[in-house]
Amino acid sequence: MQDALENTSNTTSVPQQSGLISTIFREYRNHFGLFWRVMLPLIIASLILYIGWFLFFKQMNPEAQWTFSTSAGVNSLISAGSSETLQPVSESSGVKTYVGFHGSAFDIGFLWLAMCPFAFIIVHQHRGVAITFGETWQQTRRKVVPILGVYILLWLLSTGAGVVFASLVLRRLSVGLAVTMFLILSLVNLAMFHFLVKWSLSNQCVIIENLSVVAALRRSSQLVRGTWGRFFGMYLLLVLVTMVFTTAILGLTLLLLSVSAPEFVPLREVLLSGKFFSIFLGGHVQITLQDGPTWAIVVMLVVSILIDAVFAPVWALLTTHLYMERAGTVLKGTVELESVPQAVSG
């Protein structure tokens, strides 16, 4: 691990925060083709997995309602029935507008597995070593077990299991117990954000330093220590940018659907009005249909996955640059402490 840290610290100097945004854009442009070639297998897998699941669910639940939203793409309204099966939720059809940040507007999902090969590419480029698509995935396959371990852990944290639990439990409790559970879940969510930031460099620790899952989590915690607030601020900014971009693209997609399909015509008036610009301030538009067209579901899923693919390299560039910065700083501080002569007692 010491050699890995020394190699990282000897890379081209990592830009300071003032130039980090321009560096991310520049490297995204320079490595655009390689990034997308690396993502291509995951994009195909995501398309097969998500489209197959949605179409299977539609076939098994023909009475389910479907929502097409500028914040969450496409979703089916379901709830747990008394017979332990999934039953459709009844909701009034039509267009709704609302304000508020929707967490599912940023759900990079399966493409998060690309973080490790991206980090491998970025670090080697800074070392001045050319890397190919085959070498990238060859190295990634060697670390598939810890990569999957980190991915599953971070995925469970990012999905907000507390919110799912609340939707199933709070509605069955009295008001007093519901308030208590809400406060407990709020604390759980705060802890979730704390660990997401604390372990945000785990992918880099796995692929660059060849660490196990537990060792990578500890190493990431060490690197983030003392800079948690700065990391959280940058991650929050990127999440907000991603949400606004996602909402804008999905809004334009729904507008095109309203031109080509009669089911989406009610959206046209809203999306062509001034309310469309409210999406940049947290506004959202959605339409609920009793029977969502299959082709429209596929279009929304493809657009959502491509949006995730656009931002996956951005997250990799940000976290990898932060990793190189912190790994070099921590190593330098360790060397300086070891060089200080020990005081001789007496």
pLDDT in tens, 47-98: 998 889 888 888 888 778 888 888 778 887 654 333 333 444 444 456 776 5
Residue 340 lies in a domain: no
What is the count of structural domains for the chain?
Answer: 1
Residue 198, pLDDT score: 92
229/108: higher pLDDT: 229
3/80: higher pLDDT: 3
Tokens 């000897």 correspond to what residue? 10
Contact 147, 140 (CB under 8 A): yes
Residue 297 lies in a domain: yes
Asked whether residue 134 carries a pLDDT value surpassing 50, the answer given is yes
Contact 101, 283 (CB under 8 A): no
- Domain hosting 177: range is 2-329
**Confidence class of residue 310 from pLDDT cuts 50, 70 and 90?**
very high
The model's pTM is 0.78
Contact 301, 197 (CB under 8 A): no
Residue 345 lies in a domain: no
Over residues 27-44, the pLDDT tens digits come to 999 889 999 999 999 999
Residue 342 lies in a domain: no
Angle, helix 294-339 to helix 213-224, in steps of 10 degrees: 70
Structure tokens at 47: 């398309």
Determine which of 140-144, 295-299, 300-304 has the lowest per-residue pLDDT on average.
140-144
Residue 152 lies in a domain: yes
Which regions of 13-132 does DSSP assign to beta strands (E)? Answer: 65-69, 73-80, 86-88, 94-99
Over residues 277-293, the pLDDT tens digits come to 666 666 678 888 887 88
